[in-house]
Each structure stands twice: as structure tokens, then as C-alpha cells.
Amino acid sequence: MTRPAPPVVLQLQIQLRPMLASSARPLLHSLNYSRLSTTTTTITTTTTTTTAPPHVMEINSGDEIAKAVLDVFDKWPAKRKPLVRSDGVREWVPLSGIVAQGSLTPASFADHKADRRVGKWGMTCVAAATGMKCLPQKNVSQAQGVVLHDWHAEVLAIRSFNRFLLEECYALASAEKLASEYVRIRSQDEKSEMSFQPFALNDGINLHMYCSEAPCGDASMELTMAAQEDSTPWELPLTTASDNSPVTEPTVLHGRGYFSALGSVRRKPSRPDAPPTLSKSCSDKIALKQSTSLLSSITSLLISPSNVYIHSLVLPTSQSSSVACTRAFSDSGRLSPLKSKEWAGGYSFRPFQILNTETEFSYSRRQPLPAAGQKLVPSNTATSWTPTHSDTLIGGRLQGRKQFSIQGASRVCKRRKWKLALDIAALASVQAPAVERALRAETYAAVKQSHLLEARRLVKAHVRAAALKGWVRNAGGEDWGVEGVQ
């Protein structure tokens, strides 16, 4: 999705070089560098044009964002990657990642080596994940904050990103670091009753999300329809209104079934023969994040959500339907009731732009097969990665551990993230005593019902009522405590 240019504009070709004329320097500082391309950028001005050198790259190029994630994956050990099984069957898996892009000065744009804070062109992958499974609804009560409910790559990447931010906060709170490239301690002047968090994402950082496959749900419906031998619309399931409620709620559709019902909230999994769940599709979860930020409930007790939003979503060209993405994510699609909406606590509706990349993930389901007739099957394993740690998961718990055993708790499970957040709050208790009190609740459910999270709950309720209608909460199984994990 590209935002329309202002009505009075001039196509200005800017040559970026280390030494700039003094008259041009204020203009370049005022530019939105995320809009620069290899040749032109559109701004409101009457300045004459110059020619950009061919080596200048678009800073927010979808290819560069994808490369930051793919380069991280390439360095993973073989045990964290899909296998070629003994019978010759090859596995595939979705990959997703969060990329942090630091702001660039004109000098550092001309010579990226001048920007040492975050990666080439200011980009660093700070979280990545593979995976494509979720926990059946019948097992949710057994998870107890140890087993993940949903480990699709997109969801797991966001969980990994939250873990990464919490670890950065811990390093600051414990004085392991004097400063972080990503988070900072807020001053007392920044805080208020509704904006109480002791930490914030550093200013000048844009966050990008890469997905190797179209997110399941509404953003993939056109691709699903195109793949059907018979694209005749399915009949929608019948709903019955009660005497007390003559208007029925929208039906939460199963996976990719009823693919002609566009704009609908959908649940996982996509396969109709798989055990049912109430986990919403990745399209729906990402759409909600445009209002709640990328932060989870626990993380948003410690970090202000105001600037932790996705700036752009990168998809392979083969997996990107502009019609589907506009409908699923933009303020002109199903989320139009949220346009320009702002809430208390630093929350607002922040629709991201869609970027494409021609690069395909080597383990996607479009990977070339070396032999005719060779099969391609989904991988059963998932991986959570941050720059400091990585876990391999099967069934939502650590590989090699028993299902629902506390020894199977991964770093990104609810219970271990709660424990880390509590440790941070204890270290920062002088700065945020109310946060520590909230995190010392006896159960996870009680933490989520804290009055400090009221603003976040209101945002979610508004989005579900106004735009993502038919969202049924995956409730239950939150009556457990923080004990038993490190």
C-alpha cells in the first residue's frame, strides 16, 4: 500500500553525497528517508532537480528488509531448519522476522558504515521464527503458560521480539548495560497515569515485519481462490438467532474454508481435518497489532506502546495480493472504522505499508524440487530466534521435553516472559512500583485484569466491535502462577 502523494508535488531527484551544499542540507534533514528510492522521491517543494547516482539504494527496500531476516536464518544450524527425510521427502516451513531500522543522517546514508547502531542501511533483524502449528482448543487448559497456543511463524516472531525487548530492559535495569541500541529508561516527566511504563523504544527506530508466505486468513484469500480447481463460492454456515438476540454475530470461519467470504475473521488451522482451535488467523492478529502495537500484555506494562508499531510488512511478490492486503490491513478496507483513531495510553491505529521482495525463502513451499515427483511436506518443528538466544520447538514446547511438562517451557512462553518481566519490575521498583504490584498478582489472569492494562483492553474491545467483528476470545487456561520457571 502506497500512500497518495500530496496534491501539489514535484518529482525531485536528489544526489546524496557526504558533502552537501549548505542550502540543500535543511531540505534533506526534513525528508522522510523511508520514502527514498533508487531514483526519485516525492516531496512538496519547488527545488530544481539533480540526478541520483545509480548505487544509492532505497532505504526501506523490501529486498533489504527480507535480506536482513534471510541472512539470519542462513546462519542457523541444520537442526533448526527443515529436513530432507530419509525417504527423500523435503520439508517446508514459513519464516517471519522483525527488523529494526535506525534513523540515518544524510552523511551516513551516503556511507552506511557511518551508522553503527543497527546493521546495513540501519537494518538489523532482532527476532525471527519458523513454524506453522497451533494448539487444539481441547488442550488449552493444559498449557498452563508453558506450552504455546500458537506458533505460526508470524506469531512466534512477535513473541520472540517481545522477549528480546524484555531482555534489553533487564540489561538496563540490572546495569548489565549502560545504554541499549533499542530501549531506554523514561524520565519522570514523560510518565503520567495513563503512560506509566518505565521504558520506551528508542526514538528514530522503524520496525518492519517480513513474512515468507502470505499471512493465513484474509490476506491470503485471493491466493487461495486462485489455487482452487473449482472457485465456486461455498455456502456460509447457517447461524440461528435466539429470541433474545435477533441479530446474529458474524461467524468465525474455519481456516481457508468459505474463501469467498472476504474480510472475515478466521481461525486456525487452515486444514479442515485438523483439531479445531479458537486461535485467530495471522492476518487478524497482525491487523489487531496495528492498534495495540507489537507489545504483548506483559511487555506493555514495562514499555510504552506509542512507537512500537509495524512500519512496513514485506511479502514475496508471489505471495502479495494488493487487493487482499488493502482489504485485510488498510484504513480503506475492513479496518476503515479505525481510520485516524487514537486512544488513551499512547495507542492509535497505525496502518503499515506493504512492500514486496523478489527474493524467495529457500525453504518455502515454492522451493524447487530436484527430482520429478518428489514430495514437499510441512515441517513439524518451529524455531524462535533473537540475537542472544534460540529455541527449537515441537508441539509448542522445547524439543525433546514432555508435552505440558514445565521443563518444556521455552523462553517465549507466557510463564517465562512473566517471570522475566517481574524480575525487571523488581529492579525498577522505585521507578514503577505500580507495575511491580501488578506483576506480583497470583495468577496470569489477574495480571491481565490489572487496572494498568485497562487502556489496552479498551483498544482491543473497540477494534473487535468496530472492525474485526466475530472475534471470539481464546479464553481459559490462565489460572496459573509464575512459579517453577527461571
Do 460 and 287 form a contact (C-beta atoms < 8 A)?
no
Chain segment 207-233, per-residue pLDDT in tens = 999 999 999 999 999 998 887 765 555
CA distance 390 to 350: 30
Cα–Cα distances (Å) from 152 to 170, 196, 289, 328, 475, in that order, read 27, 32, 16, 18, 19
The yes-or-no verdict on residue 323 having pLDDT over 60 is yes
CA distance 159 to 181: 20
Do 290 and 351 form a contact (C-beta atoms < 8 A)?
yes
Average pLDDT for the chain: 82
* End-to-end Cα spacing for the chain: 43
Determine the average pLDDT of the residues in 14-37: 31
Q: In this structure, what C-alpha cell is assigned to residue 263?
A: 474480510
Instruction: Give the residue carrying C-alpha cell 487482499.
Output: 324
Give the pLDDT band (50/70/90) at residue 110: very low
The yes-or-no verdict on residue 478 having pLDDT over 90 is yes
Domain edges within the chain: 1-56, 62-226+254-466
Determine the average pLDDT of the residues in 407-431: 96
Question: Any residues with CB less than 8 A from the CB of 86 and at least 6 apart, and which?
Answer: none
In percent, the amount of the chain with pLDDT more than 70 equals: 77
pLDDT confidence of residue 414: 98
SS3 176: coil
Determine the average pLDDT of the residues in 362-385: 90
Q: Could you count the other beta carbons within 10 Å of the beta carbon of residue 313?
A: 25
The yes-or-no verdict on residue 262 having pLDDT over 80 is yes
